[in-house]
């Protein structure tokens, strides 16, 4: 550590003030320390912001954020509901992003799955037994989501189109289709309301006092399955190789185009499934806002977790915690929404920023190089 | 009249000589106790050396000994962690290539930094921040002057995409001279040149030296060091070993200093034992994405039990040729690549149009060590075990991957080839170049191939590891494997290979016998287009 101190008396006048150096092999202890320091720093900055701008007691604000998530049983359940809804989209996007396929079309794939579910609920709500209805909903939503993701993958495989633009455009198409469909669904009614309000056909059954219990179970299962799929199956291995280098994949005899289309179909299928969970298990309605930006937020979830689905659960928890906390303080203290967003934004910024310090170290002018 | 002219001339020469002598002992550049780290890797540790005006200094060292890192710090690309740099006796701080230029330091990089669609003159003024309008006429004039003085064969109006590799390098040199550099650093300039072009470059370097410039050449080719430089500074594993006068040095003494131990400079070449035809490549042509013909009617045979060398200036079609055989490159319809399976020689198979997996499914064991080790042969972010799976992961019916056999294979390779790695699950990207290559070659040989193709198998490897690779290739040859060795070091090609095929511009310009040919003959063939035009 101090072997370099001998050179301390050197003339450092011309050295740049700040330099970066890459480091690897950071110990787990240090990683935890850096992240903890980041959260502490965020809380301090936020406290300053709160005191200076709102004149409120920061400790109380933090307390409110905590209570918003963990205050009572119901709040915990809602927090879990939001968490799994975000997590399943992250799980869906993970294989695509691991393959370095920029699927920014999660939003559209969720909407198409949700729309398929809503369509089945309205169309077959009165004519099918509920077990059959749910199976039909499942199949159609999964197929619609998969199709919505397969189209850009097919075009990329065949003609080398840019997947980022293509999947993004598919979002707008899906949003318009949903807007159009809801107008048709409502018929002469002044607005499109909860589907099958009376018969509750196609709604998930109540389990443990909540309709979204099935959502939680399904998401937990898929989180585990996706972990296994990516880590231990041949498909998962192919995805990893294609993501790292297409040339290596070709060298190994992997059919890159096939893997690309297959993986995107899987990614879209799970997005479609999440659409069904949102409509049948959570909202019982479809609208252009049903996906609520999760198709984009989940990209952060997937990348930050480096495609490990269990880490994804932790990151989803953090994001949902901040979101629910910000909403709560905005209403409880009559704060502007933006002020609440700044508070949660600072926390997120510091945590993301800490990743930089885990990968790099800074050397100040005249500083030791190996610290 | 004649006499007067002679007198003036000799006075001029003497004056020049004196001024050169006067400058001779002056240190143009001095490095003191430089240390540079990249993460845990120490690239340079406490290195000190100096360069004088009017001399050519070779910086010699194996790959990974820190030569380029050291020079990059002088050229302003990296900043040293500690230590000082002195130019003309003044301590300086070089924070950017711009700083380096201002101090008269110019570096010619191994990989050219030129804009293809610009002319020579445009490339030269690119990045100059001169006030007012740039008058291309005076620029062109100045470039002509430099070219005339050193006998460079480029014209200012020539577009870079029309230039040969050697011309591009010349342009890089003109670029730094134009900026008034009097300390020139050339990073492995001969790697891309034919022996004839190399000689010409050395002529230019001697001319610069006579002009009183300080010239530094980075290389690991000993004969070049001996023929061109005045002094040699030797680096080993990031540490400075010594600086010696070239006149007092021999190939052996330099090698010992460079490697740190006595090495055998001879490569084994056992006689081929009953060679059998394994591959017949006939009329293979291929066009790349830009529409350029990269392989033009290439035909040759490959025999089991021999090493076929493929020589050529880089980019003459070597890569495409190997990839065509491996099923990774589209070739023209008239092409035929016929494979003769051992014990089934009478039922040959055509490999054209088959991808690597199809070839494997046909029961053909074709191993390929590609040029781009981490970009094609291996997955950098994966450990040794997962990289072993690359060629075998899809065997078996289970949807799950099987890791036991690959792990055992990885452990075997690690032990047998002495791969230095923290563990078999450490990403191979973190290993040094030599160890990466051991992993790749080890895996390819473990597949017990009938044909083994290697592209630049020893590029960037130290002498010890290179010999390990030569030895492995010879072992395969003695087992009856048909070995194809694409190489760039002519000394090695003529010592290792039984036959050498020379490519030039995508055509076969000759196939020579490795035992009777000379470096010069191969070098000439490298620049001679085939008869078919």
Q: What is the pLDDT of residue A190?
A: 84
For B340-450, list the strands marked E by DSSP: 349-350, 366-369
Question: Which position has the higher pLDDT, B20 or B516?
Answer: B516
Residue B458 tokens, joined: 């020893």
pLDDT-derived band at A260, boundaries 50, 70, 90: very high
Taking CB atoms and an 8 Å cutoff, what residues of chain B touch A254?
A: 357
> Average pLDDT of A326-355?
84
Rounded to whole angstroms, the Cα distance separating A3 from A364 reads 17
State which H helix or E strand residue B114 sits in. none
What is the least distance, in Å, from the CA of B228 to any CA of chain A?
Answer: 35
Q: How far is B357 from chain A (nearest CA, A)?
A: 4
Contact (CB, 8 A) for A84 and A281: no
Structure tokens at A238: 């192919």
Q: What is the pLDDT of residue B14?
A: 55
Average pLDDT over residues A342-358: 84
What is the mean predicted confidence (pLDDT) over B185-211? Answer: 85
Q: What is the pLDDT of residue B531?
A: 47
Is residue A141 predicted with pLDDT exceeding 50? yes
Question: Closest Cα of chain A to B332: distance in Å?
Answer: 20
pLDDT digits (tens, 9 = 90+) for B386-401: 999 998 888 888 889 8
Q: Detail the DSSP E strand segments found in chain A.
A: 18-22, 360-364
- B-chain residue closest to A245, CA distance: B375
Q: Which of B356, B374, B430 sits opposite A24 (nearest CB)?
A: B430
Residue A35, pLDDT above cutoff 50: yes
Model pLDDT, residue A313: 95
pLDDT (0 to 100) of residue A11 = 42
pLDDT band, very low/low/confident/very high, at B294 (cuts 50, 70, 90): confident
The pLDDT of residue B533 is 38
Chain mean position to CA B373: 14
Measure the CA–CA gap between A122 and A284, rounded to whole angstroms. 11
Query: Residue A242's pLDDT band (boundaries 50, 70, 90)?
Result: very high
More confidently predicted of A293 and B531:
A293
What distance in Å separates residue B406's CA from the closest CA in chain A? Answer: 14
- The answer to whether residue B389 neighbours chain A at the CB level (below 8 Å) is yes
Give the per-residue pLDDT at A12.
Answer: 46
Q: What is the DSSP string of B45-92?
A: EEEEEEEETTEEEEEE--TTSSHHHHHHHHTTSS--SEEEEEETTEEE
Does B382 contact chain A (CB < 8 Å)? Answer: yes
Chain A residues with beta carbon closer than 8 angstroms to that of B390? 241, 248, 251-252
d(CA B182, CA B261): 36
Check B33 against A7: CB less than 8 A apart.
yes
Interface probe, candidates B42, B366, B400, chain A, greatest A C-beta count within 10 A: B400
Q: Give the residue from B51, B138, B125, B43 showing the smallest Cα distance to B86.
A: B51
For the stretch B487-529, pLDDT in tens is 887 888 888 999 999 998 888 989 999 999 887 788 778 776 5
- CATH topology (fold) of B25-259: Rossmann fold (3.40.50)
Which is more confident, A346 or B65?
A: A346
Write down the mean pLDDT value for chain B: 85
Q: Residue B386 and residue A237: Cβ atoms within 8 Å?
A: yes
Report which secondary-structure segment, H or E, holds A265: helix A256-276
Residue B79 is nearest to which of A4, A16, A250, comparing CB atoms? A16
Q: Do B375 and A247 count as a contact with CB atoms less than 8 A apart? A: yes
pLDDT of residue B12: 56
Cα A127 to the chain's mean position, in Å? 36
Q: How far is CA A16 from CA A3, A20, A367, B222, in A?
A: 22, 11, 11, 38
Say how many C-beta atoms besides its own lie within 10 A of residue A127's C-beta: 9
8 A C-beta contact, residue B165 and residue B193: yes
The region of weakest confidence among A69-83, A205-219, B519-533 is B519-533
Give the pTM. Answer: 0.74
- Give burial (CB, 10 Å; 0-12/13-18/19+) of A205: exposed
> Quick one: pLDDT band at residue A175, thresholds 50, 70, 90?
very high
Where on the phi/psi map is residue A208: left (φ > 0), alpha (ψ -120 to 50), or beta?
left
Radius of gyration of chain A (CA): 24
Residue A240 at interface with chain B, using a CB cutoff of 8 Å: yes
Mean pLDDT of A139-160: 96
Are the beta carbons of A234 and B393 separated by less than 8 Å?
yes
Burial of A153 (0-12, 13-18, 19+ CB in 10 A): buried
Domains B25-259 and B273-365+449-458+482-533 share a fold: yes
Residue pair B191/B110 in contact (Cβ under 8 Å)? The answer is: yes
**Residues with Cβ within 8 Å of residue B382, at least 6 apart in sequence:** A240, A244, B427, B428
Tokens 């083994």 belong to residue: B452
Angle at which helix A213-232 crosses helix A309-332, to 10 degrees, equals: 140
Phi (first) and psi of residue B317, to 5 degrees? 115, 5
B102 touching A (Cβ < 8 Å): no
Q: What's the whole-number average pLDDT of chain A?
A: 87
Residue A5 reports pLDDT greater than 50 = no
Q: Which long-range contacts (CB under 8 A, 24 or more apart) does A191-196 make?
A: A192/A285, A192/A287, A193/A285, A194/A284, A194/A285, A195/A118, A195/A121, A195/A122, A195/A125, A195/A279, A195/A284, A195/A285, A195/A286, A196/A121, A196/A122, A196/A125, A196/A284
**C-alpha triplet B360, B361, B364: angle, nearest 5°:** 45
Question: pLDDT value at position B8?
Answer: 59
Of B37, B93, B394, the CB nearest to A15: B93
Lowest mean pLDDT among A8-12, B104-108, B369-373: A8-12
Nearest by CB to residue B376, choosing from A251, A369, A370, is A251
Q: Per the CATH hierarchy, to which homologous superfamily does domain B273-365+449-458+482-533 belong? A: P-loop containing nucleotide triphosphate hydrolases (3.40.50.300)
Q: Find out whether A164 and A102 touch, Cβ atoms under 8 Å.
A: yes
CB pair distance less than 8 Å for B95 and A16: yes
* pLDDT value, residue B387: 94
What Å distances lie between residue A223 and A93, A312, B405, CA to CA? 12, 9, 29
Q: Nearest chain A Cα to B387, which residue?
A: A241
How far does the CA of residue B33 sit from the closest CA of chain A (Å)? 9
**In angstroms, rounded to a whole number, what is the distance separating the alpha carbons of residues A5 and A366?**
10
Query: Stretch A42-54: mean pLDDT, rounded?
Result: 87
The closest of A56, A34, A31 to A46, measured between CA atoms, is A56
| Residue B472's pLDDT band (cuts 50, 70, 90) | very high
Q: Say whether B81 and A234 touch across the interface (CB within 8 A).
A: no
Q: Where are the alpha helices (DSSP H) in B383-530?
A: 384-388, 404-416, 433-446, 463-478, 490-496, 519-526
Does residue B352 carry a pLDDT above 60? Answer: yes
Distance from C-alpha of B449 to C-alpha of B368, rounded to nearest angstrom: 9
Pick from B62, B171, B61: nearest CA to B115: B171
Q: Do A363 and B81 touch (CB under 8 A)?
A: yes
- The torsion region of residue B151 among left (phi > 0), alpha (psi -120 to 50) and beta comes to left
- Chain A positions in Cβ-Cβ contact with residue B381 (cut-off 8 Å): 240, 244
Residue A210 in this model has a pLDDT that exceeds 90:
no
- How far apart are alpha carbons A157 and B326 in whole angstroms? 22
Residue B300 β-bridge partners: B281
A13 or A204, which is more confident: A204
In a mutational test of the B interface, the residue from A26, A27, A253 whose CB has the highest number of chain B CBs within 10 Å is A253
Alpha carbon B392 to chain centroid distance? 32
ipTM of the complex: 0.80
User: What average pLDDT does range B158-183 have in this prediction?
Assistant: 87
Task: Report the residue of chain B nearest A10, measured CA to CA.
Answer: B83
Place of tokens 């190489």: B487
Domain coordinates in residue numbering, chain B? 25-259, 273-365+449-458+482-533
**Chain B closest-CA separation from residue A15 CA (Å):** 7
A182 Rama class: left (phi>0) / alpha (psi -120 to 50) / beta: alpha
Would you list the DSSP string of A300-331? Answer: HHHHHTTT-HHHHHHHHHHHHHHHHHHHHHHH
CA dist B176 and B184 (Å) reads 8
Using the predicted structure, report yes or no on whether residue B6 has a pLDDT greater than 70.
no
Which residues neighbour B438 within 8 Å (Cβ) at sequence distance 6 or greater? B413, B417, B418, B419, B465, B468
Q: With a cut of 90, say whether residue B284 has pLDDT above it.
A: yes
**What gap in Å lies between CA B484 and CA B497, rounded to an integer?**
9
Q: Give the number of A-B residue pairs with CB atoms closer than 8 Å.
A: 106
Mean predicted confidence (pLDDT) in A360-366: 70
pLDDT score of B435 = 87
- pLDDT band at residue A15 using 50, 70 and 90 as cut-offs: low
Contact (CB, 8 A) for B53 and B23: yes
Query: Residue B196: pLDDT band by 50, 70, 90 thresholds?
Result: confident
Residue B172 near residue B128 (C-beta atoms within 8 A): no
Tokens 């150096």 identify what position?
Answer: A21
What share of chain B in percent tops pLDDT 70?
92
Instruction: Flag whether pLDDT at B226 surpasses 50.
Output: yes
Q: Which helix (H) or strand (E) holds B533?
A: none
List B residues 21-50 in contact with A (Cβ-Cβ < 8 A): 33, 35, 37-40
What pLDDT does residue B254 have?
83
Query: Sorting pLDDT into bands at 50, 70 and 90, what band is B532?
Result: very low
| Nearest C-alpha neighbor of A357 from the set A41, A17, A4 | A41
**Residues within 8 A of A (CB atoms), B 307-326 only:** 326
For residue B367, the SS3 value is strand
B112 by Cβ neighbours in 10 Å (0-12 / 13-18 / 19+) ranks as middle
CB of A237 less than 8 A from some CB of B: yes
DSSP state of B456: S
pLDDT band (50, 70, 90) for residue A341? confident
Q: Is the pLDDT of residue B313 over 80?
A: no
Q: Collect all residues of chain A within an 8 Å Cβ-Cβ radius of residue B401.
A: 232-234, 236-237
Which residues of chain A does B360 touch, with a Cβ-Cβ cutoff of 8 Å?
253
Q: Where are the beta strands (DSSP E) in B118-269?
A: 183-187, 214-219, 231-236, 239-245
Residue A3 has pLDDT above 60, yes or no: no
- Position B306 pLDDT exceeds 50: yes
């Amino acid at each position: 550590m101090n072997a370099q101190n001998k050179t301390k008396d050197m003339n450092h006048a011309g050295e740049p003030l700040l330099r970066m150096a890459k480091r690897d092999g950071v110990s787990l202890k240090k990683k935890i320390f850096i992240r903890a320091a980041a959260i502490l720093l965020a809380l301090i900055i936020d406290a300053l912001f709160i005191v200076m701008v709102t004149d409120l007691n920061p400790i109380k604000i933090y307390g409110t954020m905590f209570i918003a998530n963990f205050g009572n049983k119901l709040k915990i359940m809602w927090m879990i509901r939001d968490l799994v809804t975000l997590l399943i989209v992250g799980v869906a996007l993970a294989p695509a992003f691991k393959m370095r396929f920029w699927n920014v079309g999660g939003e559209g794939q969720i909407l198409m799955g949700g729309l398929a579910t809503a369509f089945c609920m309205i169309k077959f709500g009165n004519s099918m037994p509920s077990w059959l209805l749910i199976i039909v909903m499942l199949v159609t939503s999964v197929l619609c989501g998969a199709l919505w993701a397969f189209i850009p993958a097919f075009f990329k495989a065949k003609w080398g189109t840019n997947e980022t633009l293509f999947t993004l455009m598919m979002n707008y198409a899906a949003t318009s289709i949903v807007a159009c469909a809801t107008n048709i669904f409502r018929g002469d009614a002044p607005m499109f309301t909860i589907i099958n309000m009376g018969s509750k056909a196609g709604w998930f059954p109540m389990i443990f006092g909540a309709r979204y219990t099935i959502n939680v179970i399904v998401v937990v299962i898929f989180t585990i399955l996706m972990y296994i799929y990516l880590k231990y199956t041949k498909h998962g291995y192919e995805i990893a190789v294609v993501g790292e280098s297409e040339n290596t994949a070709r060298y190994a005899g992997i059919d890159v185009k096939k893997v690309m289309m297959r993986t995107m179909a899987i990614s879209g299928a799970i997005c479609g499934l999440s659409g069904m969970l949102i409509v049948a298990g959570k909202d019982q309605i479809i609208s252009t806002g049903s996906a609520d930006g999760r198709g984009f937020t989940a990209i952060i979830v997937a990348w930050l977790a480096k495609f490990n689905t269990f880490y994804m659960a932790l990151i989803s928890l953090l994001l949902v915690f901040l979101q629910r906390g910000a909403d709560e303080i905005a209403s409880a203290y009559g704060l502007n929404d933006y002020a609440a967003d700044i508070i949660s934004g600072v926390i997120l910024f510091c945590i993301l920023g800490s990743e930089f310090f885990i990968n790099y170290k800074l050397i100040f002018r005249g500083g030791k190089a190996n610290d | 009249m004649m006499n007067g002219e002679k007198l003036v001339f000799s006075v001029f020469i003497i004056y020049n000589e004196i001024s050169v002598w006067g400058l001779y002992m002056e240190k143009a550049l001095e490095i003191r106790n430089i240390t540079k780290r990249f993460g845990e890797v120490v690239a340079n540790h406490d290195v000190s050396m100096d360069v004088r005006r009017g001399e050519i200094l070779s910086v010699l060292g194996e790959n990974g000994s820190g030569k380029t890192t050291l020079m990059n710090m002088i050229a302003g690309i990296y900043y040293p962690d500690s230590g000082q740099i002195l130019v003309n006796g003044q301590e300086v701080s070089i924070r950017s290539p711009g700083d380096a230029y201002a101090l008269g330091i110019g570096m010619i990089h191994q990989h050219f930094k030129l804009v293809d669609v610009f002319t020579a003159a445009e490339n030269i003024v690119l990045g100059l921040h001169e006030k007012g309008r740039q008058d291309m006429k005076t620029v062109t004039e100045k470039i002509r002057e430099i070219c005339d003085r050193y006998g460079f064969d480029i014209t200012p109006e020539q577009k870079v995409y029309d230039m040969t590799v050697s011309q591009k390098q010349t342009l890089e040199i003109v670029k730094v001279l134009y900026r008034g550099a009097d300390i020139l650093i050339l990073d492995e300039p001969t790697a891309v040149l034919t022996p004839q072009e190399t000689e010409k470059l050395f002529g230019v370097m001697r001319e610069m030296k006579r002009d009183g410039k300080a010239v530094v050449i980075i290389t690991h080719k000993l004969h070049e060091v001996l023929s061109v430089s005045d002094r040699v500074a030797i680096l080993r594993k990031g540490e400075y070993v010594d600086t010696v006068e070239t006149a007092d040095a021999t190939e052996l003494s330099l090698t010992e200093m460079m490697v740190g131990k006595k090495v055998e400079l001879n490569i084994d070449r056992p006689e081929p034992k009953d060679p059998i035809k394994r591959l017949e490549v006939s009329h293979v042509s291929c066009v790349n994405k830009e529409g350029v013909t990269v392989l033009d009617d290439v035909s040759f045979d490959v025999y089991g039990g021999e090493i076929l060398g493929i020589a050529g200036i880089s980019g003459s079609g070597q890569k495409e040729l190997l990839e065509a055989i491996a099923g990774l490159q589209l070739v023209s319809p008239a092409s035929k690549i016929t494979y003769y399976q051992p014990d089934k020689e009478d039922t040959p198979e055509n490999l054209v149009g088959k991808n690597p997996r199809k070839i494997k499914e046909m029961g053909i064991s074709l191993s390929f060590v590609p040029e781009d080790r981490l970009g094609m042969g291996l997955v950098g972010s994966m450990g040794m075990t997962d990289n072993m799976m690359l060629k075998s992961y899809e065997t078996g019916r289970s949807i799950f991957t099987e890791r036991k056999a690959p792990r055992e294979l990885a452990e075997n390779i690690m032990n047998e080839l002495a791969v230095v790695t923290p563990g078999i699950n450490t990403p191979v990207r973190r290993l040094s170049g030599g160890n990466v290559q051991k992993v790749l070659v080890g895996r390819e040989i473990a597949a017990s191939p009938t044909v083994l193709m290697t592209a630049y198998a020893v590029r960037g490897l130290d002498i010890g590891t290179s010999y390990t690779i030569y030895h492995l290739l010879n072992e395969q040859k003695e087992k009856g494997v048909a070995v194809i060795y694409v190489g760039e070091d002519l000394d090695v090609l003529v010592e290792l290979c039984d036959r050498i095929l020379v490519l030039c511009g995508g055509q076969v310009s000759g196939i020579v016998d490795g035992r009777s040919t000379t470096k010069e003959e191969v070098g000439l063939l490298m620049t001679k287009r085939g008869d078919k035009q």
